[in-house]
Amino acid sequence: MVTTTLDAMASGGIYDHLGGGFARYSTDAFWMVPHFEKMLYNQALLGRAYLHAWQLTGEQRYRQVLDETIAYVLRDLHHPDGGLYSAEDADSEGEEGRFYVWRPEQIEEVLGSEALAAMEWWGVTKAGNFEGANILHRPVRGDVVRPPGIDRSRQRLFEARESRVRPGLDDKVLTEWNGLFLATLAEAAAATGDRRWLAAATETGEFLLRELRGDDGRWLRSWQGGRAHHLAYASDYAAIVDAFTRLGEATGEARWVAEARTAADAMLALFWDPVQGGLFTTGNDAEELITRPKDILDGALPSANSVAALALLRLGALTGGPEYVERADAILALLAEPAARQPGAFTELLAAADLATAGITEIAVVGDRRDLVRAVHERYLPNAVLAWGEPYASPLFDGRTDGMAYVCRDYACREPAAEVERLVEQLRAA
């Protein structure tokens, strides 16, 4: 079910076959005709899905989609100082999709004798599939890994398309959406070993700290034109906690785990409901409303409470902070009944519920053992956390021996592993 869906999306017109990245949604049942707007959060959430599919299956087609989606964001949505813009519009020159669609004669003009093969690959016809023009797609579902000749044609078409009038750019830098993409980018950098992605993830984290956290420590929601605006919501804080936790796991730098703890403490102080549990949408320092709502449903974006539950469980496992686990459990208890009735509306929360019920595998790699770290990073381990690099206050570092990896549950560890093979055996059995 998962791979069929991922293959259909990557083959359809909802995916940008020349420039990478996904449009916001499809207007039909075949993922063919998109609403051409491209949102940062879509790249974050879909990029993560293709990353995990690649880790689980080893299929190159999922890695290709991941690579091109991240490349799109870092090329077209990247602020020079490190933040990430929110979106590109659907329209250019007053027409929806004008930037993206092609007529056969346009392809022939660019590719000459190679046009016929390219048009066959991307399903281009004289009649077209969108208002007389063609949305590029792959008619053979899942067959998206391009032969060398088609890949050369892709590059030439991409370069020709760059001369067109681009869709409008929404140049706001939103804390929540940046946090979602940063979490994906950090995880992808760790899994692939791509140091450029890791540098970009670190740069994004530093931008957020510098530009979107006030001198008083209060996070703000939006940045544009050199200024930050609006008090951040619970969803912003939750995304930051998750992003900085994953950036710490990717880099081995203790400062990111410390920043995640600081953001988590502030989130709980500002948004926590002491009566019923869970996070209110607005902070206790925000304008008083008639009622104080809670963001609980996972839709196009995961809810603040779902992201927070997952992030707090992981942060608690890394730091040994019981208060984080207790608050995450309280969120799960608050939403257990509606989630059981309508699980499709709580998909991110279900990941947290699985983590809480199955238990977390805590992994510590102590000392300079990049080979052992790599063995952890390259595997899809959704119910594990990793502490390595610079030590910080955590039971995972207490009393450990340099040069060894420890695989633990509730900080009770198996025999330390000095070889990659032994560590992999323990991870399989965890």
Nearest one of 184, 192, 165 to 40, comparing CA atoms: 184
Question: How far out from the chain centre does Cα 248 lie?
Answer: 15
Token representation of residue 307: 């992201």
CA dist 132 → 16, 36, 104 (Å) = 19, 16, 11
Predicted model pTM: 0.97
pLDDT band at 25 (very low <50, low <70, confident <90, very high): very high
Residue 383 confidence (pLDDT)? 96
Average pLDDT over residues 88-106: 96
* Residue positions counted in the chain: 430
Q: Dihedral (C-alpha) 223, 226, 231, 237: value to the nearest 10 degrees?
A: 50
* CATH entry 3.40.640 includes domain 359-430: no
Domain boundaries, the chain: 2-170, 177-358, 359-430
pLDDT band at 319 (very low <50, low <70, confident <90, very high): very high
Cβ(165)–Cβ(92) under 8 Å? yes
Q: What SS3 class is residue 35? A: strand
Token representation of residue 395: 């039971």
Cβ(198)–Cβ(252) under 8 Å? no
Residue 38 confidence (pLDDT)? 98
Nearest one of 238, 265, 255 to 175, comparing CA atoms: 238
Residue 226 confidence (pLDDT)? 94
Residue 56 confidence (pLDDT)? 97
CA dist 356 → 284, 295, 303, 363 (Å) = 28, 21, 18, 17
Token representation of residue 309: 């539950």
Per the prediction, the chain carries an average pLDDT of 97
* CATH entry 1.50.10.10 includes domain 177-358: yes
Q: What is the pLDDT of residues 162-207, one digit of tens each?
A: 999 999 999 999 999 999 999 999 999 999 999 999 999 999 999 9
Q: Using CA of residue 353, residue 357, residue 358, residue 363, what is the dihedral sign?
A: positive
Instruction: Provide, rounded to the nearest whole percent, the portion of the chain with pLDDT above 70.
Output: 100
Residue 430 confidence (pLDDT)? 85
Q: Which amino acid is at 112?
A: G
> Could you count the other beta carbons within 10 Å of the beta carbon of residue 140?
10
Token representation of residue 27: 């207007």
CA dist 30 → 10, 13, 27, 143 (Å) = 11, 9, 9, 16
Q: What is the pLDDT of residues 277-289, one digit of tens each?
A: 999 999 999 998 8
Residue 289 confidence (pLDDT)? 85
Token representation of residue 386: 């990793």
Find all residues with CB under 8 Å of 374, minimum gap 6, and list them: 193
Residue 99 confidence (pLDDT)? 97
Query: Whole-angstrom Cα distance, residue 46 to residue 55?
Result: 14
Token representation of residue 404: 């060894």
Burial class (CB in 10 A: 0-12, 13-18, 19+), 118: buried
CA dist 270 → 55, 266, 278, 309, 352 (Å) = 37, 6, 12, 16, 22
